[in-house]
Amino acid sequence: MTDQELNIRHIDRTLYNDDLAPLAKSRRSWGWFEIFNVWANDIQSLFGYTLAASLFISYGLNGWAVMAAIILSGFVVMWLVNLSGRPSVKYGIPFPVMIRASMGVRGANLPAMLRAIIGIFWYGVQTYFASTALTLLLTALFGDPGGQWLGMSAIGWLSFVVVWLFQIALFWQGVDKIKHFLNWAGPLVYAVMVLLMIIVWFQAGSDLLPAISTVFSTSSDYQGSAIGAFLTITGTMIAYFAAVVINFGDFSRFVKSERDMKLGNLLGLPLNVAIFSFIALIITAGTLVLFGEPLTNPSAIIEQVDSLPLTLLAAVTFFAATIGINLVANFIPPAYDLANLFPRRISFRIGGLITAVIAFFVGALWIAVISHIGIPGFVNALGAVIAPFYGIIVTDYYLVRHQRLDIQDMFSSDPGGAYHYVKGWNRRALVAFGLAALFSISSVWVPALDVLGGYAWLIGAALGGGIYYLLMRKQSDRNAVTT
């Protein structure tokens, strides 16, 4: 697919720019290794490790059972992203263009902007957390001068600004430079985490392996069944990946073939999650043996080990890992989403710059203000609300369109276009989204639905897809006849 094949004369310039246009296969340079590192950087961040480690001590399960639940989540997410990524591999289009098929050429801005708000918010928060790694490094080298403003020291503010500028500079150089950064950061994080595991294992000695089977079962107040705990852990990990699952097309469009995408997802999800959860299992058990309590924050573990070389190496690694997930989950998606809003005025780069500017204030005010006023809960609610869009996208492509899209009509505002619907909005898709979103938002705000755990996202997606199919069934039958 090339830009010329779109027939430029019939393109609506309010729907098109070079960044949103289908990417020709000759310009795609990503293979399985790049997709593997998308997931490696997503998993191996400070927050990702803390989440995985905390699951080992929160539900009173045997450590191996927790590890099995986490691995199962990797298989589920792999299946989900293989479905959502395939159309973007085939047609070379990003998420906000892909969803025009189901929501309409104008209606696509609704899910795109909801996703952008979530991404921008967490981009600011993760920028702050990435800066704490740099703060750890600078403090280890030069000490802490003391004094704070808005919850951060002078070194903290310096680190925050440096990280913020570094991410903009990296993003401004384009997707290829981001790819190279991810390819470097992923293996480095693995190396340091394996080193930390070996150190903890060596220091814990023969007490470590018995701790894995026995210690976690006595360190939790969880009162539910073992099966319920297993399912909750699996669902929680699935929900952790949800932000990337819905817009995976933003990355799969750069992949040379569907085979590369699937291999990258296989290695980057089930296998990667298995190795990473094993590392988290060993380290968490080791900290309980060594320090009398399970430590889930890597920075706290490094401080306890008390080794300056390890502190410096770990600080660089945590910095790289957290920036990696920030670029993957929170920077690239909003850049495309904002470009989709006003293609004539906002390019991918300008969208990224807008993202960075807004996120600066989120990160700067995180400690002093935002973390205390309930905004994270609101943003998490938005995350639940967008779950139905995943079901709508997948149902539309596989069951309604039968894996056939008209790329020309995706960039056309012609009332007769396949995706124009009513003034550019598909009202049936809006109804499906609205009904499914009622459940999604209830799963966050209604205490009685807490029992669903992380599976609320999957249920919301299934409801969105199911209702959408019922409303679009006649359209599906017509498409089947003409295919």
pLDDT of residue 1: 43
Measured in whole angstroms, how far is the alpha carbon of residue 20 from the centre of its chain?
20
Per CATH, is 4-369 categorized as 1.10.760.10?
Answer: no
Which H helix or E strand runs over 153? strand 152-153
Return the percent helix, strand and coil in the chain, to nearest 5. 75, 0, 20
422 strand-pairing partners: 425
Q: What is the DSSP letter of 18?
A: T
Nearest by Cα to 282 from 185, 210, 192: 210
30 strand-pairing partners: 255
Nearest by Cα to 107 from 467, 427, 435, 471: 427
Which H helix or E strand runs over 149? strand 148-149
Measured in whole angstroms, how far is the alpha carbon of residue 212 from the centre of its chain?
29
Determine the 3-state secondary structure of 21 from DSSP. Answer: coil
Length of the chain: 483
Quote the tokens at residue 249.
């097309």
Do the beta carbons of residue 58 and residue 222 sit within 8 Å? yes
b/e 44-75 (16+ beta carbons within 10 angstroms → b) = bbbbbbbbbbbbbbbbbbbbebbbbbbbbbbe
* Nearest 10 degrees: Cα torsion 222, 223, 227, 232: -40
10 Å CB burial of residue 263 (0-12, 13-18, 19+) is middle
Determine the 3-state secondary structure of 389 from DSSP. Answer: helix
Q: What is the DSSP letter of 101?
A: H
pLDDT of residue 4: 40
pLDDT of residue 278: 85
Phi/psi for 469 (5° steps) reads -65, -40
pLDDT of residue 183: 87
Alpha helices in 205-307 (DSSP H): 208-214, 226-246, 249-252, 258-266, 272-291, 298-305
The residue ranges of the chain whose pLDDT is under 70 are 1-10, 46, 212-224, 299, 303, 305-306, 374-380, 453-454, 475-483
b/e 407-420 (16+ beta carbons within 10 angstroms → b) = bebbbbbeeebbbb
Determine the 3-state secondary structure of 82 from DSSP. Answer: helix
425 strand-pairing partners: 422
Question: Cβ of 375: how many Cβ atoms within 10 Å?
Answer: 16
Which H helix or E strand runs over 152? strand 152-153
pLDDT of residue 355: 94
Q: Whole-angstrom Cα distance, residue 343 to residue 77? A: 31
pLDDT of residue 465: 96
Question: Interior CA angle at 215 toward 214 and 219, to 5°?
Answer: 130
Q: Whole-angstrom Cα distance, residue 117 to residue 410? A: 24
List Cβ neighbours of 379 (8 Å cut-off, separation of 6 or more): 117, 118, 121, 122
Domain boundaries, the chain: 4-369
Do the beta carbons of residue 388 and residue 432 sit within 8 Å? yes
